[in-house]
Amino acid sequence: MTEWVKRPKPYVPDLRRFGALCDGNYQRLRKLRKLEVAGQPVCEFELHRENQYLGRVRIEVLQTTKFTETLLLEQVHNSGRWLNNPQMTVRVYHDAAMAEIISCYRQRQIAPVNDYPNRYMHHPDEKVQVNSFLADWLDFCLRFGHLPMEHAAWTAGGGLE
C-alpha cells in the first residue's frame, strides 16, 4: 500500500507586495535622512517615548555609487538589555526609489527565497519579513525620534515627522 504524502507548495514571492514594501521603506528613510548634515556620513538621533529613553539610532553611509547607496542602520544603547538592538545593511536604489535590507547584523546576506527546512531555519519568506520589520522600525523611529539636545531642532514628543 502506497502512502501519499502531500508536499507543501513552494513559496513564490509576491513581487508587487515586496516592491511596495521597499518603496515605503525608501520614503521612510528619506524622511529620517533629512536630519543629515551635508557631507557627514553619519546621522544620529535619539528615541524617546514620553520620558523614557529608548536608545540612539545611527544611520551611516557605507558606500555611494551613481544610483545606489549602502547604509548601516543600527540602534544602540537600548535600555532593554533583553532585546537585541537592530543592525541592518540597507541598499537604497535612488533610480527606482526603493530600499531593501541586504543583510542583518553584518553577518549574512538574505536570500529572496529559502527552502524549508534549511540549515539556519530561515523562513521561506525571510526577505519579506525582515523588510517588514524595517518598515515597522522606521515608523517607530519617525514617531519617537528626536534630535539630541545639542541640536536646536529638538522636538519634545513630536517625533521626526
The CA-atom distances, in angstroms, between 96 and each of 15, 19, 22, 26, 27 are 14, 10, 10, 9, 12
Is residue 132 within 8 A of residue 151, CB to CB? The reply is no
pLDDT at 100: 95
pLDDT at 160: 58
Residue 54 CB-half CA count within 13 A = 18
pLDDT at 122: 66
Is residue 32 within 8 A of residue 138, CB to CB? The reply is yes
pLDDT at 159: 61
pLDDT at 121: 64
For the chain, what are the domain ranges? 19-144
Query: Global pTM?
Result: 0.79
Buried b (16+ CB within 10 A) or exposed e, 2-33: eeeeeeeeebeeeeeebeebbebbbebbeebe
Q: Per-block average pLDDT, block size 10, for the chain (161 residues)?
A: 70 87 97 77 89 89 95 79 78 97 77 72 79 95 81 48 51
